[in-house]
Copies of this chain bind each other. A is one copy, B any other.
Amino acid sequence: MPDHLPPTMPLDALGVRLAARAGRLAGHTSSLAPGFVQGNLAILPAALAGDFLRFCQRNPKPCPVLGISEPGSPHIPELGLDLDLRTDLPRYRIWRQGQLVEEPTSIAHVWRDDLVAFVLGCSFTFEHALMEDGIRLRHVAQGRNVAMWRTSIACVPAGPFAGPMVVSMRPFSPADAIRAIQITTRFPGVHGAPVHIGHPHLIGIEDLSRPDYGDAVEVADDEIQVFWACGVTPQAVIAAARPDFAITHAPGAMLVTDLRNSSLAVL
């Protein structure tokens, strides 16, 4: 248990969850519990959960489902035995009619018996695999958020859920781009292989200096731009669907699970 660990030891996944649960962690999770899978959170009323799950099934690259709670349950044991989705993320966003109304550090006060929670894979896992292979990620080196754009690629709709695919872009040398395609192909549960390389205008991206989300990143003339489906897609789709009620994680404040990143490699 983390209570027994010396304070200089890095927290493991449970340690991060307990810190968030105790109110001692309200910020980003990006460098915490290295090696453990972090996930995007989306919580919807059960009446919409079937439509949303169908949306995820039809759009697995932006919406890779890692776990789903039973209706009314804030637990997903396969992602962490003790895990409590009401308290274990550092910060949440509460949406009503598609409007952001609150950014609390717990959602215990708004939990309902009809809520269904979805945990979706996140690029942290494949970024970890890239860095373990010695590939440098410029936005990480510069301490920025990855650059993201809405594209002209339409998601396959399901019920009220529809909209464009959001992608993240990372620039690489040609050799690293090839290697990055190989490595991320092994991780279909966290966006998988890129959806595009090299010609951003073909997917509706006109201005590389102005991402729709995150921070712009420099691209050298001799680099290849590599685009992955992004977990912002389901959040944008949920906001656009304007459900009466929804909860997501706050940007960067992810659910830290007990799964190892390497366990999501298909080979």
Contact = CB atoms under 8 A, between A and B. Distances in A.
Contacts of A140: none
Q: Lowest 5 A-B CB distances belong to which pairs?
A: A181-B181, A174-B197, A198-B224, A174-B196, A199-B222
A178 interface: yes
A262 to B, nearest CB: 17
Contacts of A178: 181, 193-197
Chain A interface residue number, banded: 10 to 19
Interface in A174-232: 174-175, 177-178, 181-182, 185, 193-199, 202, 222, 224
A141 interface: no
A101 interface: no
Contacts of A195: 175, 178
A222 B198 CA distance: 9
Contacts of A1: none
Interface of A: 174-175, 177-178, 181-182, 185, 193-199, 202, 222, 224, 267
A175 to B, nearest CB: 7
Nearest to A181: B181
A19 to B, nearest CB: 39
A174 B194 CA distance: 10
B193 A182 contact: yes
A175 B196 contact: yes
Contact of A224 (B175, B193, B197): B197
